[in-house]
Structure 1
Amino acid sequence: MNENFWKDKYPAGIPAEIDADLYPSIQAVLSQSCERYAGLPAFSNMGRTMTYGELYRLSGDFAAWLQNHTDLQPGDRIAIQLPNVLQYPVVVFGAIRAGMVVVNTNPLYTAREMEHQFNDSGAKALVSLANMGHLVEQVVPKTGISTVIMTEVGDMLPPLKRLLVNSVVKYVKKMVPAYHLPKAHKLNDVLAVGSKKVACNVEATGEDIAVLQYTGGTTGVAKGAMLTHRNLIANMLQAQAIMASNLNDGEETVVAPLPLYHIYAFTFHCMAMMLTGNHNLLITNPRDLPSMVKDLGKYKFSGFVGLNTLFAALCNNQDFRKLDFSALKMTVSGGMALQIATAKRWTEVTGCPICEGYGMTETSPIASVNPIQNIQLGTIGIPAPSTLCKIIDDEGRELGLGEVGELCVKGPQVMKGYWLRDDATREVLDAGGWLRTGDIGIIQEDGYIRLVDRKKDMILVSGFNVFPNEIEDVLADLPQVLQCAAIGVPDEKSGEAIKVFIVLRPGESLTRDEVIAHMRKNLTAYKVARQVEFRDELPTTNVGKILRRELRDEELKKLGAQ
């Protein structure tokens, strides 16, 4: 599809293009926003609110310490392994102001995963949470990290509350295993020392790498996507353009339950919300629904950024359904396919429809989104401004409207490439800037894109392609179903057979025969599962995305043991 095809597909209020070169660097955006919105709330967590002015001052203290009390240089990589706490934006923006490259690291990583990411990125510094101190102690000697900074969950809270929160986490909940890191610095000490110096904002160009964002490693070893200042600025401007008709600068409170170290939440809350001067309510542990709902009850939130499993879980929570949703005017879904049944339930409960978007780590991440003015459930919307999409076949030939093939994306938000992996980069990114997403989709006549499934998750039954998303959408229509997943398992007759896994809502019951009957009513015969397994829970990523791969691996192990 050429540029002319997309230009008239944007509703009034959303421009077809953005100027990706409007700002020279993230430092420039931060400086401008923190000055413009200095007195407004930027981030809140555990009852404490940090203004944009405080964010700029504290991030400057961190930058000044890096520049005056370490040997770190601009371009060096700093791994940041923190959950959604106020320390996260302070450290991230401080590192960027010092000209360093942020390596977002999942706090739930194992020692093996940490070691791979630290060594692959060449990280020289690490900021981590005390909860992971025992792993840091084990891993750091095997890496090139020379500077370690540790913090506790409550370190940015007022003194008495800090002592209380940190004591409860350590001694009551016993979430901080003993560790010994005598050379590590405490973040609060670092900020105090840094405050005595003046940070020198290191000038960056648009093509300089700002973040090394590691993919989940679902197709082998995790790779670092090189996201430049221009990539992230383009995506924040694209997000702003999409939201402009619905959210007002400096007036909104947006719930941030997804981890900031994940690219979806990172770009939305740390980048786009910073540009617009809005307030982010950080949820440290979204799996603790009662605590999360209690937090939500204290704010008149107008935006909510989540994903399918979280929406389903919240709608099933009695206290959540009692909250005041009168201010809520935008809900955004990404990270995994949004099931139509979940979207309808959310609208019934909150009165606010969900805008489903689509993206990848490699696209910073927003590639397409449903405009709030014209949501089409079951689609991922239209390309973000200044973004082109096309569908190709297995030979790389472009297909026409309505034809099924692999979705490709081109735009200023597409990554520079994979860190130190030229071959892997060439596999997904061509000379013309087109990124192969690995997702199977269709471009409709109206420009909306419908994803069929992940290429690697496709199930082949007797030569017929079966896409798990379609099966899962049908299962999600059953009122008893809370979560579900469909995978292919080896079968002598058909090559692969379909197996489904189901988690029921509390207090509900459902039989295998009822599931099969429902599928037969709504699906062609070859798409009906042969096996049904009920479970108490399904394996998920840290953001709640169901891991079909783990389910497949479990089934293969069972077969191997027989």
Structure 2
Amino acid sequence: MNLGMLLFMPATIAGDQVILIDTSPEAAGGTAREVTYQELLDNVSRTAGLLTTLGVGEGDRVGVFATNSVESVEAIFGAAFAGASVVPMNFRAAQEETAHLLSDSGIKVLFTQSRYLDLVHTTKPADLEHVYVLDDPDSYAAARDGSFELPVPADVESDGLCALLYTSGTTAMPKGVKLTNGAVTSYVTGTNDAATGEDMGSMAVAAPLYHIAGLTSMLNALYSGRVVVLLPQFHADSWIECIRRHRVTHAFLVPTMLARVLHAPNFSPSAFDSLEAVTYGAAPMPPSVIRHAIREFPPHVAFAGAYGQTETTSTVAVLDPDDHRIEGTPQEQERKLHRLSSVGQVLEDVQVRVVDADSGEPVAPGVIGEVQLWTARAMDGYWGNDEKTRVTIDDEGWVHTGDLGYLDDDDYLFLHGRTGDMIIRGGENVLPDEVEAVLYDHPDVLEAAVVGLPSAEWGERVAAAAVVRPGAATSGDELAAHARERLAPFKRPEFVHLMDELPRTSTGKLLRRDLIPLLDELGL
């Protein structure tokens, strides 16, 4: 099934329904732009016609290097209608990474925005001839409107390439994850019913569309008839204002986004009168942050946690809203508070096992090992990297996630960092997230990160960095003392360095590789 059918099907049923709201104009004091299904379908058909005129078809890739906007959505679906594969790209990428994305993907056409045009022209390969600027009427709109329309999505193979999504690149240059037409469309149609024209509420999408969470949030909402409220980029104060102004009912946030919302100067429970549900994911959720959110948001707001990877076509496990309701007997409340540290239970189309990192044999419940997943919507491999593909997916189709974790007796999955993040101090294993959780329990800490630094005496020593709330007088020494009181000696950070912000990817994943040399250089 063509990705374009996720638009074509609901548009034929509820063409007059407003399905996209672009909030970009509000930043300049204007009015948000509303687009109906039929308007979106017409523009997508013209974009597909332009691509077809350029000779784009099945087997070709089309890049989108732009922030969230109506035009970005048109470009994504336009590529699909033409039978091509879409490559949404990280518009925050530096020059070297941008050059890698444009070259490695082998795109035939690129859609971008005027703000990124200089970067694109200095990094694009010589054979990339077709570059269209989405916010320039003389570029994208003029070229598209002069072409014929392609009103129906092209026929494509289920195992053909639908999207090439590049991973965050926390350890090296991003890798292109190949997601098939069948994997993406089955995930969306298996999770939602098609739009009927009924009011399904609205979904605020602030996560970038080049990330699997942002892309699937948009696709799920659009297919089901839930109005997609697009924010070009995330800022906590503008996100809160967007929820209030547009009476948003549903939203997705990564943990760092949620933490910043909670400490935004315009945070007020009254701003969320319309909000029904918040889903979080894409990075580990510190337990103290979600507990804080449950306390501060209105009681009618339901929270749900989603765990997945680009390699598994989004969500594979969910911590349900009921798991976030701390109710019942003292024993039940204690169990639910503990479960807030988990990512929930795997979905029906997913299998999970936890194995010993050395032997590969399954371990007992409660024992930490590598988390491995099996699902029919696993990736088709890494673009141009068969060696890495073989390391990540074994012959039986199990995805080796690189995440450490364990299953409890009720099959709730708990994560404990990445296999490469383990700190070994004097022969003792230290899980960074365990130390980070203690730091997060300090009321002034907004963000915390723990890494291992080289040590001639111990092999590695434990060090930490933290971001504290604005105006807090807390020192690094005070946070180190806070940790010493609560951790075994070998787990205690030798120092805590305060920072204005931690190095993270655009979707909130901590860049430990960038933090390690910075803390090591301090020589504390």
Q: How does the TM-score come out when normalised to structure 2?
A: 0.90
| 1:249 shift after superposition | 6.7
Instruction: Please tell me whether the aligned partners of residues 78 and 125 of structure 1 are also in contact (alpha carbons under 8 angstroms).
Output: yes
Deviation at 1:547, TM superposition (A): 1.9
> C-alpha displacement at 1:355, in angstroms?
1.5
Change (3 A) 1:325 1:200: closer
| Partner residue, 2:431 | 467
Decide whether the 8 Å contact of 2:110 with 2:130 is kept in 1: yes
Who is 1:553 aligned against? 517
Matched, 1:364 2:320: no
Q: Secondary structure at the match of 1:297?
A: helix
Alignment of 1:132-143 (within 5 A): 132-140=116-124, 142-143=125-126
Give 1:139 deviation, angstroms.
2.0
The residue number in structure 2 matching 1:62 is: 47
CA distance in 1: counterparts of 2:172 and 2:504, whole angstroms: 18
Q: Aligned equivalents of 2:211 and 2:350: distance in 1?
A: 22
**What CA deviation, in whole Å up to 9, does each residue of 1:439-490 have, x standing for no partner?**
0010111111000111111111111211111111111111111111111111
Q: Once the 2 structures are TM-superposed, how far is the Cα of residue 85 of structure 1 from its aligned partner?
A: 1.2
Residue identity in the other structure for 1:330: A
Pick from 433, 445, 448: which aligns with 1:484?
A: 448
Match of 2:129 among 97, 122, 146: 146
Listed one character per residue, the Cα deviations across residues 502-550 of structure 1 (whole Å, up to 9, x for unaligned) are 1111111113342123212322221111011111222221223332221
| CA-CA distance at 1:90 after TM superposition | 0.7
Per-residue CA deviation, residues 367-420 of structure 1 (Å, 9 max, x unaligned), is 211122334310011112210000111221122222210000111221011112
The residue type paired with residue 222 of structure 1 is P
Aligned to 1:301: 248
Please point out which of 271, 277, 283 is paired with 2:231.
Answer: 283
Q: Given the alignment, which residue of 41, 44, 51 partners 2:18?
A: 41
Provide the C-alpha distance between the structure 1 equivalents of 2:157 and 2:465, rounded to a whole number of angstroms: 48
Secondary structure of 1:320's counterpart equals coil
- SS of the residue 1:324 aligns to: helix
TM-score scaled by length of structure 1: 0.84
Cα contact 1:123–1:144 (8 A) shared by 2: no
TM-aligned CA deviation for residue 239 of structure 1? 4.2
Contact 1:41 1:278 in 2 (8 A): no
2:142 aligned partner: 189
Q: Give the 5 Å matches for 1:238-317.
A: 239-240=191-192, 250-269=199-218, 271-287=219-235, 289-317=236-264
**Alpha-carbon contact 2:477-2:496 (below 8 Å) kept:** no
Aligned pairs for 1:154-553 within 5 A: 186-194=139-147, 196-199=148-151, 201-237=153-189, 239-240=191-192, 250-269=199-218, 271-287=219-235, 289-321=236-268, 323-351=270-298, 352-375=301-324, 376-393=339-356, 394-553=358-517
Query: Does 2:115 correspond to 1:112?
Result: no
Equivalent residues of 2:241, 2:271 under 8 A apart:
no
Counterpart CA distance in 1 for 2:311 and 2:216 is 12
Q: Cα 1:409–1:237, aligned 2, differ >3 Å: closer, same or farther?
A: farther
The CA RMSD measured in Å over matched residues stands at 2.2
Query: Would you say the 8 A contact 2:201–2:226 is kept in 1?
Result: yes
Give distance in 2, aligned partners of 1:143 and 1:526: 54
Once the two structures are overlaid, the 10-residue window that deviates more, 464-473 or 85-94, is 464-473
Structure 1 CA distance for aligned equivalents of residues 404 and 167 of structure 2: 19
Partner of 1:77: 61
- 1:56-109 per-position Cα deviation (integer Å, ceiling 9, x unaligned): 1111110011112x1223221111101111111111001101011111111112
Could you tell me how far 1:250 is from its partner in structure 2?
4.2
* Residues 518 and 557 of structure 1, relative CA distance in 2, 3 Å threshold: closer
For the 8 Å contact 2:355–2:362, the answer to whether it is kept is: yes
Identity of aligned residues (%): 26
The change in CA–CA distance for 1:523 and 1:353 in structure 2 (over 3 A counts) is farther
In structure 1, distance between residues paired with 2:61 and 2:79: 9
Q: Establish whether residue 50 from structure 1 lines up as the match of residue 35 from structure 2.
A: yes
The alignment of Structure 1 onto Structure 2 pairs a total of residues equal to 498
Of residues 32-41 and 406-415 in structure 1, the stretch that sits farther from structure 2 once superposed is 32-41
Displacement of 1:557: 5.4
Q: Which moved more, 1:339-348 or 1:440-449?
A: 339-348
Residue aligning to 1:125: 109
Amino acid at match of 1:77: R
Q: Confirm or deny: 8 A CA contact 1:42 1:279 kept in the other structure.
A: yes
What is the rounded CA distance, in whole Å, between the counterparts of 2:434 and 2:521 in structure 1?
26
5+ unaligned residues in a row in structure 2: which ranges? 24-31, 325-338
After superposing the two structures, state which structure 1 stretch, 340-349 or 97-106, moved more.
Answer: 340-349
Q: How many angstroms apart in 1 are the aligned matches of 2:145 and 2:16?
A: 22
